[in-house]
Structure 1
Amino acid sequence: MKLRINGEWLTVPETIHTVGDLLSHFQLDQRVVIVEQNETILEKESRSEIKVQDGDIIEIVQFVGGG
């Protein structure tokens, strides 16, 4: 399946069915992130239920601290 993630087209395994699966695949499931799917910001609680489809546009924003 091809998804546009943060502006780049990537092929992800067919085992990824939900946004939660996608975050786990990229090892982001334990991090504080904001996820947008097709221009809609997703609630954290719904990520494991929301399906991803070929051609979806996903934006993932991570918070980084520093000083």
Structure 2
Amino acid sequence: MIFRKYLVSLLQKIFSWKISAGISSFVFAILHGQTNFLPFLINGLIYSWTMKKSGTIVMPILLHMAYNLIAIKTQI
């Protein structure tokens, strides 16, 4: 919610949606603290796109939950 709902909305007061989604996704990836932040950047962009297309925060939340579930399952 922080990145898609609030940060993108705040950034859109200054930038276009694409730039706002890109910045938000970059921050999302960096704050995950992994050395390979590319998967997190891509996920952030996907979550932003689904938020824009669906018009609700529910779909990005469900996708993020599914991604985390798969990541946990593959590590067990």
Question: What is the TM-score when the length of structure 2 is the normalising length?
Answer: 0.28
The structure number with the bigger radius of gyration is 2
Question: What is the TM-score when the length of structure 1 is the normalising length?
Answer: 0.30
Q: Which has the higher strand share?
A: 1
Q: Which has the higher helix share?
A: 2
